[in-house]
Structure 1
Amino acid sequence: MRIARSVVALSAAACAALISTSAAVAAPAPAPASAFETTPEIGILTPEAEAELYEQLEESAPVIAVYRGKEINLANGWEGAQACTEIPSGEIYCYDSTAAADAELPAIDPAQASRIRSKVIYGPTAFSSCAVGYVCLWENSNGGGRRLQWSAKGTKQLSDWDFRDKASSGCSNRNAGGVEVYDARTALPDPYMILGSPYCYNFSSAAYPTGGTFNDKADYIKIL
Structure 2
Amino acid sequence: MALALGAGSATAAAATNEATPSAASSYAAEAKAVGLSARQAAQLQDRVNARLADIKVPAEQVGYNEIRAKDGSARITLSVPGLAADTSCTYEYLCLWDGANWTGTKLSFTVCAFRNMSDYGFVDRLTSYKNNQTTGTISQFYNWEGTWVYKFGSRAYHTEDSLANTPWNNMIDGIQVC
**Could you state the TM-score of these two structures normalised by the residue count of structure 2?**
0.56
**Could you say if the C-alpha distance between residues 68 and 148 of structure 1 is closer, same or farther in structure 2, counting changes exceeding 3 Å?**
farther
Q: Classify 1:75/1:214 alpha carbon distance in 2 versus 1 (closer, same or farther; 3 Å).
A: same
Q: Say which SS state the counterpart of residue 145 (structure 1) adopts.
A: strand
Partner of 2:174: 220
Residue 112 (structure 2) pairs with residue 153 (structure 1):
yes
How far apart in 2 are the matches of 1:67 and 1:97? 20
Number of aligned residues = 125
Partner of 1:167: 126
Shift of 1:200: 0.4
Question: 2:139 is matched with which residue: 179, 183, 191?
Answer: 179
| Gap regions ≥5 residues in structure 2 | 1-8, 24-48, 81-85
In structure 2, C-alpha distance between the alignment counterparts of 1:147 and 1:95, rounded to whole Å: 5
Matched, 1:201 2:161: yes
Structure 1: which 5+ residue stretches go unaligned?
1-60, 99-126, 207-212
- 1:31-64 deviation line (CA, Å, top 9, x unaligned): xxxxxxxxxxxxxxxxxxxxxxxxxxxxxx97x6
In the alignment, the residues of structure 1 paired with residue 95 and residue 173 of structure 2 have an alpha-carbon distance, to the nearest angstrom, of 15
Instruction: Give the secondary-structure state (helix, strand or coil) at the position aligned to 2:108.
Output: strand
CA contact (8 A) 2:76 2:107 kept: no
Give the whole-Å Cα distance in 2 for the aligned partners of 1:217 and 1:155: 16
Residue identity over aligned pairs, in percent, reads: 18
Amino acid at match of 1:181: F
Distance 2:97 2:106 in 1: 4
Contact 1:85 1:150 in 2 (8 A): no
Encode CA deviations 1:61-101: one digit per residue, 9 max, x unaligned.
Answer: 97x6957458934437x99x7554458x4365555558xxx
User: CA RMSD of the aligned region, Å?
Assistant: 3.7
SS at match of 1:160: helix
Partner of 1:133: 92
Answer 1 or 2: higher relative contact order, Cα 8 Å, separation at least 6: 1
Q: Name the structure with the higher strand share.
A: 2
Tell me the residue number matched to 1:90: 72
Normalising by structure 1, we get a TM-score of: 0.45
